[in-house]
Amino acid sequence: MQNDSGTLSSPATAQGDPAGFRLLVRSIGMADLALVPVLRRLRGSSDAELASLLYRAPAELVSGLTHQAGTQLLDVLQQTGVELELMPASEQFEPGQGNYEVSLAIKKFDQMAAVIDATARLVGLDTQTAKRVVCATPALLIGHVSLATVDALRRRYAPLGVEVDCSITSQARFDLFTESHDPRTRQLVQQLLAEAGSRSDVRDAQLVACDLDGRVAKRIWDELSRRSERAQMVNRDLHRCDVIVERAPASEGMLSYLVNSFGMPARTAERVVQQTPFVLAENVSLGATSEILAQIEAHGGKAAGVLLAQRRYGLNVGPGGDRQLAKVWIETIAGREALPGGCPDSVRLPGPLTKTQARWLQYELKAIGVPSQLVER
**DSSP helix/strand/coil, 140:** strand
Nearest by Cα to 324 from 289, 370, 261, 356 = 370
Could you tell me the pLDDT band of residue 121, with boundaries at 50, 70 and 90?
very high
Whether residue 8 is predicted with pLDDT greater than 50 in this model: the reply is no
pTM comes to: 0.87
Tell me if the bond preceding 159 is cis, omega within 30° of 0. Answer: no
Show me where the domains of the chain are located: 21-88, 100-170, 172-238, 240-310, 313-376
- Quick: pLDDT tens for 67-106: 999 999 999 999 999 999 999 999 999 999 999 999 999 9
Contact 364, 330 (CB under 8 A): no
Domain 21-88 - what CATH class? alpha beta
What's the mean per-residue pLDDT of the chain? 89
pLDDT beyond 80 at 123? yes
Q: How confident is the model at residue 210 (pLDDT cuts 50, 70, 90)?
A: confident
> What CATH number is given for 313-376 in this structure?
3.30.1390
Does residue 35 register a pLDDT over 70? yes
Q: Is the predicted pLDDT of residue 367 greater than 60, yes or no?
A: yes
Q: Which residues are paired to 8 by β-bridges? A: 2
C-beta separation of 77 from 28 below 8 A:
no
Burial class (CB in 10 A: 0-12, 13-18, 19+), 244: middle
Q: What is the rounded CA–CA span in Å between residue 292 and residue 18? A: 60
Confidence of residue 13 (pLDDT cuts 50, 70, 90): very low
Confidence of residue 353 (pLDDT cuts 50, 70, 90): very high
pLDDT at position 16 is 41
Q: Specify whether domain 100-170 bears CATH 3.30.1390.10.
A: yes
**Same CATH fold assignment for domains 100-170 and 313-376:** yes
Span 216-220, average pLDDT: 89
Section 161-171 average pLDDT: 96
Q: Which of 141, 32, 123 is nearest to 81 (CA)?
A: 32
Q: 302 near 295, Cβ under 8 Å?
A: no
**Cα separation, 231 vs 191, whole angstroms:** 16
Contact 82/148 with Cβ under 8 angstroms? no
- Pick from 256, 253, 225, 244: which is nearest to 308 by CA? 244
Of the chain, the percentage scoring pLDDT greater than 90 comes to 70
Nearest CA to 81 among 56, 54, 99, 58? Answer: 54
Is 249 within 8 Å of 129 (Cβ atoms)?
A: no
Average pLDDT over residues 329-347: 86
pLDDT at 230: 78
Handedness of CA 143, 145, 149, 154 (dihedral sign): positive
Neighbours of 43 (CB within 10 A): 14
Instruction: Tell me which DSSP letter residue 9 carries.
Output: -
pLDDT value for 180: 59
Q: What is the rounded distance in angstroms from the CA atom of residue 96 to the CA atom of residue 295?
A: 38
Domain at 240-310, CATH class: alpha beta
Q: Is 203 helix (H, G, I), strand (E, B) or coil?
A: coil
Please state which architecture CATH assigns to domain 172-238: 2-Layer Sandwich (3.30)
What φ, ψ does residue 306 adopt, rounded to 5°?
Answer: -105, 120
Across the range 254-266, mean pLDDT stands at 96
**Number of CB atoms found within 10 A of residue 215's CB:** 10
pLDDT at 283 over 60: yes
- Segment 1-12 shows an average pLDDT of 42
Cis peptide before 352 (omega within 30 of 0): yes
Strand order in 59-65's β-sheet? 59-65, 21-27, 83-88
pLDDT category at 179 given cuts 50, 70, 90 is low
Q: Which DSSP category does 346 fall into? A: S
- Residue 150: name the closest of 194, 192, 217, 102 by CA: 102
Contact between 29 and 58 under an 8 Å Cβ cutoff? The reply is no
